Amino acid sequence: MLSTSTLSQTTDRLVYLVDDDEDDALLVQAAIHEAIPYCKVRVFQNGLVMLEIMAEPGAKPHLILLDMNMPHVHGLEILTNLKMNRQWADIPVIILTGSDDPEQIKLAYQLGAQTVINKPNKYTELVDIVMIIRQYWFSIARLPQADA
């Protein structure tokens, strides 16, 4: 159960979720709403659209969950764009992937991902992962201001 102080810390959080698989995106979004009830989630099926939206004033999220393997623009290309842009480089990016390719995982870290997480097979495991993300990124870690 969330304490009052934890709720107040998460009520103003904005998370961008980038995943081309609509079913995966719906599951992750549901897990976020379950584990972080007052967190705002914006879902993108294409990372380039997310980058366009982020260029708008006030559109900077606190955290980005980014699928690695997407057909139009690979997640690592989006990660590179995020980390090369001074305005966005400080946003923590968590890579979600179904791949166990050690070279891809190594490259994700080299490009600036804060962590790489394998997509779990069970929804309950996904909720557990999101609870850990909430605990670390929204309670323990200090994040830059989203509108900075």
Placement of tokens 């891809």 in the chain: 104
Confirm whether 4 is domain-assigned: no
Residue 6 has pLDDT above 60, yes or no: no
Query: In terms of pLDDT, which residue wins out, 144 or 138?
Result: 138
Confirm whether 147 is domain-assigned: no
- Percent of the chain residues topping a pLDDT of 90: 74
Whole-angstrom Cα distance, residue 25 to residue 16?
11
- Output the pLDDT for position 1: 41
Handedness of CA 16, 117, 111, 137 (dihedral sign): positive
What is the reported pTM? Answer: 0.89
Confirm whether 146 is domain-assigned: no
CA dist 119 → 32, 58, 115 (Å): 14, 30, 13
- Output the pLDDT for position 20: 93
Residue 89 has pLDDT above 90, yes or no: yes
SS3 54: helix
- 11 confidence band (pLDDT: 50, 70, 90): low
For the packed helices 47-54 and 75-84, what is the interaxial angle rounded to 10 degrees? Answer: 20
* Closest CA relative to residue 138, chosen from 12, 44, 47: 12
Residue 115 CB neighbour total at 10 angstroms: 14
- As a whole number, mean pLDDT of residues 57-79 equals 91
- 10 confidence band (pLDDT: 50, 70, 90): very low
Whole-angstrom Cα distance, residue 23 to residue 14?
21
Confirm whether 145 is domain-assigned: no
Structural domain including 111 reads 9-140
SS3 143: coil
32-63 per-position pLDDT tens digit:
999 998 899 999 999 999 999 998 888 899 99
- Output the pLDDT for position 8: 43
Whole-angstrom Cα distance, residue 42 to residue 56?
14
Residue 26 has pLDDT above 90, yes or no: yes
Confirm whether 95 is domain-assigned: yes
Placement of tokens 């995943």 in the chain: 19
- The CATH number of whichever domain residue 82 belongs to comes to 3.40.50.2300
